[in-house]
Amino acid sequence: MELKEYAVEDIDLELYAGEGRLEVPALVARLYGGNLGGRMVLDLAGGDLKKAAYGINLTFANVNSDLLLPKGTRDGKYGIINGNMDFQGIGLDPAAGIRLEGQAYITEIGPKVADNLLRSLDPQGVDSSIRTTRLLINRGFKPKLMTFVLRHGYLYPEIIFAQPWYFPMRLSGGKVELARIPLDMFLRSSGQGPAAR
């Protein structure tokens, strides 16, 4: 099965539906050579999309990260990505506004894939914090943890690095906090229009 150009295989899930509520208490699937597990819930609030509530909690491990990247950025190298995410939201009507909050953690990612991920967040290269972070990665800094906190309509990325011994300067706290990114940017790219907060 393909979801927005991503191939998910061997899906095993439980689904409960009734009284305007959908719940998937257990989901297991294969995603690009790795595993995906989690749970999801959707409450349609009696048909009032402005009040509809939803949540998703996913964990993924041993995913071939090269296959997750846009086709133009692949270099054929195999990389593993591990992580988890937990998001909750209210509202399914973009015109009325969508409130979405939560966080995602990438606990294992290679430098090349991290660089490509950052490039996808800033394809025009206008964000100085992303440019600086990509420069650090290309100088030998290895990402240990990438966090993405979503609140008040903005995504707040942060990267904790393993610093190379030969680099003369040390990062404060060993991390870089990137400039916040409006969630509207992702909604526009998916055709939903600006409505997040």
Residue 195 falls inside a structural domain: no
Query: What pLDDT score does 80 carry?
Result: 82
Please compute the mean of the pLDDT values over residues 171-193 and round it to a whole number: 75
Residue 56 falls inside a structural domain: yes
Split into its structural domains, the chain has a count of 1
How far, in Å, CA of 62 to CA of 35, rounded? Answer: 7
Residue 93 falls inside a structural domain: yes
Q: Where does the pLDDT of residue 182 fall: very low under 50, low under 70, confident under 90, or very high at 90 and above? A: confident
Query: What pLDDT score does 151 carry?
Result: 93
Residue 115 reports pLDDT greater than 90: no
Residue 194 falls inside a structural domain: no
Residue 125 falls inside a structural domain: yes
Residue 197 falls inside a structural domain: no
Query: What pLDDT score does 72 carry?
Result: 46
pTM: 0.80
Residue 196 falls inside a structural domain: no
Coil vs helix vs strand at 40: strand
How far, in Å, CA of 181 to CA of 154, rounded? Answer: 5
Query: What pLDDT score does 101 carry?
Result: 96
Q: Which domain holds residue 76?
A: 2-189
Partners of 61 in the β-ladder: 35
Residue 119 falls inside a structural domain: yes
Alpha helical stretches, state H, 103-194: 111-121, 128-138, 183-189
Query: What pLDDT score does 64 carry?
Result: 80
